[in-house]
Structures are given as structure tokens and as C-alpha cells.
Chains A and B, each alone.
Chain A
Amino acid sequence: GAVVSQHPSWVICKSGTSVKIECRSLDFQATTMFWYRQFPKQSLMLMATSNEGSKATYEQGVEKDKFLINHASLTLSTLTVTSAHPEDSSFYICSARDPNAGRGGYEQYFGPGTRLTVT
């Protein structure tokens, strides 16, 4: 199946700093990517939908000025957590939609996730 990578796999940053997380589709072009956040023992929560070449669409309650999303190419989307605080510590997961995949071409492939710890 298609592969989605994330970098870094884990990151520790100090409160007030910004951190960037990359999501790449390695063997397909993804016009749409998604960003999720997952707290321990909880389910995934969709944060935003990232479309190549256009502004991201954020879910209700997600601060777009704090979580900056850039989808500059068909294989790369980035999530920047600005002015991070300890409550932003979480597991961030991206997924990419391969329009040419099997099963009707609508399967989403998930990255391995990025563990962010803000101290």
C-alpha cells in the first residue's frame, strides 16, 4: 500500500517556541492531507483538512493561528505549532488521501505520528 511518512517522530520543545512537523506521501500524490491530534488513551481528533495550493480548513475549536498548515506540494504538508504550551503536548498524526488507490480510490493512509512534548 501507499506510504506516508512524518518527521520528526518525536520532538521536545520549550514553552513559547514553535515546532514544525512534516507529512510526506512517499509514492503517490496527495491532493488532500489531514491532521489529527490524539491525547493518551483517547481517540483521534481531526484538526484540519489540508488541500494542495489552498488554505487549510480547520475544524471547530482548532485555532488556525496557532496550528499553521501549509500544503505547498502534492507530496508535502506541514503543521507548525506556534508558541507551544505544555497543553499542546500530544501525538500528532497526518493522513493522505490517494485518489488513485484501490477500493474506489478513497482510502486514507496514515503516517506513523509525531510525539510532541512541550516543557
Chain B
Amino acid sequence: LAKTTQPISMDSYEGQEVNITCSHNNIATNDYITWYQQFPSQGPRFIIQGYKTKVTNEVASLFIPADRKSSTLSLPRVSLSDTAVYYCLVGDMNTGFQKLVFGTGTRLLVSP
């Protein structure tokens, strides 16, 4: 399983755009990149998933460069409720992500 590296923490203010970058230098050809969000004392919640280039949904955007060795989760105009831990994971879609290995995650603190 490809190892991921993320910043331990980030600070932002309400209304700003937040970009969290994840490094996955050993990503395999069949691996997809998935981001989860976790609030204290809750289970993780799926945010977005992608394979290459750019993916956008109602919550976030995911940017993946051509070499796929990193990815950036972009949260537009964050609010206080976006304060959470964000996890980047990579896994093989063909095996159904049988094992999700969580890294340290990035603790995002949004201030007024």
C-alpha cells in the first residue's frame, strides 16, 4: 500500500480557500486517491476521490498532477464547521480498497 505524507496541521480563517497537499510517491498504476474528513468523536466521512487531473464535487476539488505523486484537496471558502482532520488515502480500485490505511492526517483549524 502506498504511503502518504501530509502536513500535520494547518490554520485558516473563515472564507478563505484551503489547499491540503498529500504526497504519495509510490502510488501504483491502479491506485485511486481518496480523501476523508473526520470530526472529533465521529467516523470519517468520504469527501472526494480521483485518479488523475481534476475532480470537483459540491464539497471540494481534487487536483492530481500528471505524475500522480501528489494530490491537493481544495476546500473553497471554508467555514468554522470545516475544522476537522483530513485524511488522504491511496488504494487499488481493482481490489475494492480492501484495506484503508490511514496516515496521520491534517488537522485543519478554521478561525473566525
- Are the chains A and B members of one assembly? yes
Measured as residues with beta carbon below 8 angstroms from the partner, the interface class of chain B is: 20 to 34
Contact B98 A110 (CB under 8 A): no
Q: Label chain A's interface by main secondary structure.
A: strand
Contact B41 A99 (CB under 8 A): no
Number of residues from A at the complex interface, CB < 8 A? 29
Most chain A beta-carbon neighbours within 10 Å: one of B45, B87, B96, B99: B96
User: Closest residue of chain B to A93, judged by CB?
Assistant: B43
Contact A95 B100 (CB under 8 A): yes
Whether A61 sits at the interface, judged by CB under 8 Å, is no
Whether B103 sits at the interface, judged by CB under 8 Å, is yes
Contact A43 B43 (CB under 8 A): no
Q: A95-B43, A115-B41 are in contact. List 17 more A-B contacts (CB 8 A).
A: A4-B43, A34-B99, A43-B87, A44-B102, A46-B100, A46-B101, A46-B102, A49-B98, A97-B96, A105-B96, A107-B46, A108-B97, A109-B46, A110-B36, A111-B43, A113-B42, A113-B43
